[in-house]
Chains A and B, each alone.
Chain A
Amino acid sequence: MTEFIIERANYWAIIALMMVGLYIIFASQNLIKRLVGLSIFQTSVFLFYITLSKIAGGSAPILYGRDYPKSYGDDHSAAPGYDAVLAAGEVGVKEVYSNPLPHVLILTAIVVGVSTLAVGLALVVRIRESYGTIEADEVRDIDMGVAAAEEDEDAAQRASA
């Protein structure tokens, strides 16, 4: 049982982060805190992808060691391309590498997350400027109050007409 838990430590961390993030989004009335929660939630997904790509004993996916013979030298232009190495019959890589694809995907997802965060913060700034508060419940109360006042004014108009 303990092994079952410890072996999956990364997944427990991801699940914990995900739940923390979602909880903050729903429980907090402060708009900035909601964005913080959103970021934590997204980060847990980034970690999930990175975890997927890890291969036990694998290094960063850059050719090294036996896959990067000295003959390549420092002069990059003179080095045979990797496809030339493949053509020479040395099929496949000899060292163990982590899967690079999820890293690339997550780089994209991080950019998306940053853009969302920037737009969200800009919205919070604008909400602060026009409402004077960044608490969701206060914003709602202000809106309700305005709507109620409009309705009263309306009824008064109708009564006079």
Chain B
Amino acid sequence: MAHAQPTTAKQPTFRRWFPHPLLSLTLTLIWLLLINSFSAGGLLVGLVLGIAIPRLTSSFWPDRPRMRNYGKLFNYLLLVMWDIVVANLQVALIILFRSNTSLHTRWVSVPLDLTNPEAITVFAGTITMTPGTVSCDLSADGRHLLVHCLDAPDIEASVRDMKQRYESRLLEIFP
């Protein structure tokens, strides 16, 4: 199946065994969370997974996502959680009390300042998870995001909102 790349033999031992140290750590941690208890055996299996999976899939990860500012990432997660709750209430009110004809359902094109693919993915995912907006497509040059809004009376305001609230923060998190 997946082969180790010929170049990996020349790399230092640590890089060869841990092409993505953070991914290895995450996989081990997720395995420990999955079995929901801590034991030496569980840790061992977790470590084996953490070493094997990044090595086998390293050819699918040509670049490492570079991130800085993990504190801001945490703040961002909290903000998104809060927004999800608020937006849920708004959409619930729309579904329950507004007639379909009074909804301004429309497509919105959001120009992107983000260039980092991982950052765009997080941005699109955030837009989808906050109810009321679903990100649908990216322009072929990666400069615009197509978003479907359930109720957007003012396109300009919606775009400004998304860019200021999420994109500006993501720009600080991803270099």
The answer to whether A and B belong to the same complex is no
